[in-house]
């Protein structure tokens, strides 16, 4: 399925391609400032979610706040996985060098890619993410670097939820780094700067 998207070819052909996945109500350009802070020379594929929730784009449906439509999530995850594949052919970037940057709803679909596919992402930065699915056997994520940014006072995501996500990814072999702020659900400059340091140390 086609997604509204933006592709910007980076100055560094050897850098990974950043897959930008917005939060509820966002669009394919929302996270461009993050990409600029984290890896200014990398190519960028910004994607807009195909689900419309009261006029707000999302990547998959939810039953209510914090409760996902699991069947829809599985379908949309497969769709996004195939879309990245198609775009790598169309734009000529290396499919094996894709790093996700996701916030909130976008972080949840990025997490779902990791939960479903061994080769979906070379790494991921998940800002304010939840556990995408439970009772699922994760593929081997041996050595896949994952950064999780979270707020201790996030009203939408309890700390235990984030800890569970990190633990499940670690059990599958991922190299997970958690960074906690005192903040809530909003994205902070502090955690993006921390993610930029992490990116330099782990993915360049």
Choose the catalytic residue: 5, 104, 116, 128: 104
Choose the catalytic residue: 72, 88, 94, 185: 185
Q: Is 104 a catalytic residue?
A: yes
How many secondary structure helices (H) and strands (E) does the chain include? Answer: 5, 11
Strand ranges (E), the chain: 5-8, 17-21, 43-47, 51-53, 56-58, 62-64, 67-68, 98-103, 123-127, 145-151, 175-181
**Pairing relation of β-strands 5-8 and 62-64?**
unpaired
Strand (E) or helix (H) holding 70: helix 70-91
Give the separation between CA 42 and CA 109, rounded to whole angstroms: 22
Coil, helix or strand for 91? helix
Q: Is 3 a catalytic residue?
A: no
Q: Which of 131, 169, 164 is closest to 147 using CA atoms? A: 169
Coil, helix or strand for 57? strand
Rg of the Cα atoms in the chain:
15
DSSP at 39: -
Q: Is 116 a catalytic residue?
A: no
Catalytic (active-site) positions: 104, 154, 185
């Amino acid at each position: 399925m086609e997604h509204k998207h933006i592709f910007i070819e980076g100055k560094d052909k050897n850098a990974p391609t950043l897959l930008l996945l917005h939060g509820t109500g966002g669009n394919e350009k929302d996270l461009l400032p993050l990409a600029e802070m984290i890896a200014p020379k990398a190519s960028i594929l910004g994607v807009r979610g195909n689900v419309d929730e009261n006029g707000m784009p999302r990547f998959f449906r939810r039953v209510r706040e914090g409760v996902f439509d699991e069947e829809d999530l599985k379908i949309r995850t497969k769709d996004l996985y195939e879309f990245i594949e198609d775009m790598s052919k169309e734009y000529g970037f290396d499919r094996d060098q894709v790093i996700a940057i996701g916030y909130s709803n976008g972080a949840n679909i990025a997490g779902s890619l990791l939960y479903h596919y061994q080769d979906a992402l070379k790494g991921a930065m998940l800002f304010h993410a939840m556990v995408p699915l439970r009772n699922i056997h994760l593929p081997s994520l041996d050595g896949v670097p994952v950064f999780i940014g979270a707020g201790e006072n996030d009203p939408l995501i309890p700390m235990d939820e984030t800890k569970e996500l990190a633990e499940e990814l670690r059990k599958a072999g991922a190299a997970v780094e958690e960074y906690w702020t005192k903040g809530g659900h909003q994205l902070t400059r502090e955690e993006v700067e921390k993610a930029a340091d992490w990116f330099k140390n782990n993915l360049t």
